[in-house]
Amino acid sequence: MTDTTQARSFWFVGAVYDKTKDQTERFIDKGIWENGYTDRYLELVRSMLPGDRIAIKSSFTRKHDLPFDNRGQTVSAMAIKAIGTIIQNMGDGRTLKVDWTPVAPAKEWYFYTYRRTIWRVIPDRWEAQGMIEFTFDNKQQDYNRFCNAPYWRERFGDQPEAEKRFKWTKFYEAIADGLLQHKDDRSQLIQAIHAISTKVDGLSHLTDHYTDDDSGPLRDICPFTTMGIFNRGITDANRKSIAKELASFLGVDIPVPETFEGLPILNNLRSWFFGFNNVRQPGDIDTLWEMFAVAIDLAGSMDNPQIINHFVETFDKVNKQFSVKWNLTSGLFWIRPWQFISLDSKSREYLAKFLKLKIGRGGHENRCSGTEYLDLIDKISDQFENDQYPVHSFPELSLAAWEYEQIEERSTLEPIFENPDEDEISGVGQSITPYSIQDILNEGCFLSSEQLLGMLNCLRMKKNVILQGPPGTGKTWLARKLAFALMGQRSQTNVRAVQFHPNLSYEDFVRGWRPSAQGQLDLVDGPFLQMIKMAIEQPDVKFVLVIEEINRGNPAQIFGEILTLLEADKRTPSEALELCYSRGDADRVFIPSNLYVIGTMNIADRSLALVDLALRRRFAFIDLEPQIQSTWCNWVSKQFGIEQSFLKDIQRRMIDLNQTIEADSNLGRQFRIGHSYVTPHSKSQIDDPRQWFLQIVHTEIQPLLEEYWFDSTDNARKACDRLAEGL
């Protein structure tokens, strides 16, 4: 059984690159894996460590011969062709040495897949855990759980057919498949469309302009404009009639949808994806057909680099053509609604204002590029698998966008976080320093791996935890290490620490008025809102806010109305609240599910009041104990070269002192002294262990004991004498 508590990362990698055939057999024969790119994934490959498990995968889609009832829907699939263990990383960002085991025949994993060449997986969610066990331990995939998970249940779930939404998707996909047969010869298609226009009202827009004075019937058409003939601002009755006639011509036997919920429609005045003949460029319609075909290919072969590159290049080319604009994304959504997102005006507003997601604007005329479009799809798809997320598929997102109640007039809308000058953030190629529970243990944590795993699981489920314990139990140190382990990497930029104190206010922590350099007051976001915005902009990345000594301030006052949003089941845009210092009617805030909070609390501080029940209900509390035991002895001896016998003597003395403190009726367990006092800092050099310990006793422990026994200094002195006696 694969030990997922110790492994830093599991890697799922491709073996096909630009204009190359499958390299799996060569990789296995030579005991290597190679990054076929010279300009991509280099830092990610350098992050792969000896001992990490690795698998060669190939992603695609399947509709037939599946081991479960797919209800006629297309399923994402991933073939596992080989598994292995990394032996050596050559450090060039290109080459690994791997001990491979072929998987023949390749075994297929379904639903939870990824299109990029390199996929770093950490077992922090049930889907990932299941895939790791399936790949490396031959454990059976739980098809039923996946079929009924939020992201997939609309297509594959067990609910009655009458309760399922988005039944139109099968019809639209079938129409797209039928249209693809006419890619190279559109003569019969255009004749059929003109014939339909004589039978059904609503198709008066099919007249082309050949010169300034010459017009006539449209002689050529693209597939998106074809699908647009029943996706315009006309009556539902006419939409159904047109769709029925077109389906009959294409040989589609799936019934015409009864409803068109969530489907974006074209403006009747701009229903073509190309310009009139007298303004469009030669090849514009052909390029739209090329876009149509490669999009269908990409939806069916998810991680083929050649298809991805072809899609991006064609997307960017079409994006520059006359009359296309954002309609291109709606057309892609029509033909494969489960794989592509529509970025029509309502969807863009919903993404920006409600989901608080940034749309890249690096393409033509401040629209998204092909790469940014695919990155956005990956980013949102990852959120669909979160039970608490407001939407769980692109059809549901489109429907929610059209039902979204507008707060401001559309003409004045300025989407949040859509700054064209900012770079779109992508995890591909990002340098990673992996971090796991084993790293915490290696760096001087004296808990067991099982205890640490329990803490991480608690943090993942509750979202907010408080580490509490006596002084010197390493609460702040462990908070940061748990944050790194939660993220699976050592990333200082994704972890932020703040200190609570009696003078800290809501205005400091959340939002408040601040004087500006211009001599006026500006509404400024505090560290908590700043972290919220960072987490919303990068929903596929985990962020952690560490609050040191959380009980030294007044948490209920500092958090204010946002305290209620900390609850795990309220981490969704639908629970957003308006802050007391608001920037406008549309300024509502929610805490995303990828932002975690770790607080620390010194339970020996008698100057502080108890934490109120409102805060306690929203945090899980984890007790830390002094860990001056054999694990501590072994680690300190190994790291600093101190004799075990001397450390065991210190251990005995500290245990005796803590027993004395615990037995004192005025003190108790919460006043014991933790292991941090007698654990040297990582860069310390201990030349004289005796002198080192005596210095700690007199400069650190004695002042603390004098504070404990402030009304009986003899007790403090005697305790210190016993610590130093005989050394």
Report the percentage of the chain scoring pLDDT > 70. Answer: 93
591, 569 Cβ separation under 8 angstroms: no
- What is the Cα–Cα distance from 558 to 579, expressed in whole angstroms? 13
Over residues 66-80, mean pLDDT: 93
pLDDT at 301 over 90: no
596, 543 Cβ separation under 8 angstroms: yes
pLDDT of residue 537: 85
Q: Strand, coil or helix: what is 76?
A: strand
668, 662 Cβ separation under 8 angstroms: yes
Scan for tokens 């600093």, then name that residue.
640
pLDDT tens digits for range 163-198? 788 989 999 999 999 999 999 999 999 999 999 999
Q: How far lies 698's CA from each of 554, 649, 709, 721, in Å?
A: 34, 17, 15, 10
- Residue 469's DSSP bridge partners are 602
83, 103 Cβ separation under 8 angstroms: yes
pLDDT tens digits for range 203-231? 877 888 886 667 889 999 999 999 999 99
- pLDDT higher for 387 or 52? 52
Q: How far lies 584's CA from each of 403, 536, 573, in Å?
A: 21, 19, 17
pLDDT at 419 over 70: no
For strand 207-209 and strand 215-217, is the pairing parallel, antiparallel, or unpaired?
antiparallel
Scan for tokens 């498949």, then name that residue.
177
- What is the Cα–Cα distance from 659 to 431, expressed in whole angstroms? 48
Rounded CA Rg of the chain: 31
For the chain, the 3-state helix, strand and coil shares in percent, each to the nearest 5, are: 45, 15, 45
Length of the chain: 727
pLDDT tens digits for range 336-368? 999 999 999 999 999 988 888 889 999 999 999
pLDDT at 297 over 80: yes
Q: Which range is least confidently modeled, 252-266, 305-319, 505-519?
A: 505-519
Scan for tokens 């074209």, then name that residue.
266
pLDDT at 421 over 80: no
Q: Which range is least confidently modeled, 18-22, 274-278, 479-483, 519-523?
A: 18-22
pLDDT at 619 over 50: yes
Task: Tell me how many degrees the CA angle 645-650-654 measures, rounded to the nearest 5.
Answer: 150
Task: Tell me how many degrees the CA angle 681-686-692 measures, rounded to the nearest 5.
Answer: 85
pLDDT tens digits for range 124-151? 889 999 999 999 999 999 999 999 988 8
| CA quadruple 428, 433, 434, 437: dihedral sign | negative
Q: How many Cβ atoms sit within 10 Å of the Cβ of residue 100?
A: 21
pLDDT at 430 over 70: no
pLDDT of residue 450: 93
Q: How far lies 281's CA from each of 67, 226, 278, 312, 318, in Å?
A: 49, 19, 9, 21, 11
Q: Strand, coil or helix: what is 320?
A: coil
488, 124 Cβ separation under 8 angstroms: yes
271, 232 Cβ separation under 8 angstroms: yes
- What is the Cα–Cα distance from 155 to 225, expressed in whole angstroms? 27
What is 130-157 written as a DSSP string?
HHHHHHHH-PPP-HHHHHTSTTTHHHH-
Q: What is the DSSP letter of 425?
A: P
pLDDT at 413 over 50: no
395, 166 Cβ separation under 8 angstroms: yes
pLDDT of residue 417: 31
pLDDT at 410 over 50: no
Q: What is the DSSP letter of 232?
A: B
306's enclosing H/E stretch is helix 305-319
pLDDT of residue 1: 63
Which residues, at least 6 apart from 478, have a Cβ–Cβ distance to it below 8 Å? 440, 445, 467, 624
401, 347 Cβ separation under 8 angstroms: yes
What is 392-421 written as a DSSP string?
-SHHHHHHHHHHPPP-S-GGG---TT--TT
pLDDT of residue 354: 87
- What is the Cα–Cα distance from 341 to 289, expressed in whole angstroms? 19
Which residues, at least 6 apart from 605, have a Cβ–Cβ distance to it below 8 Å? 549, 551, 552
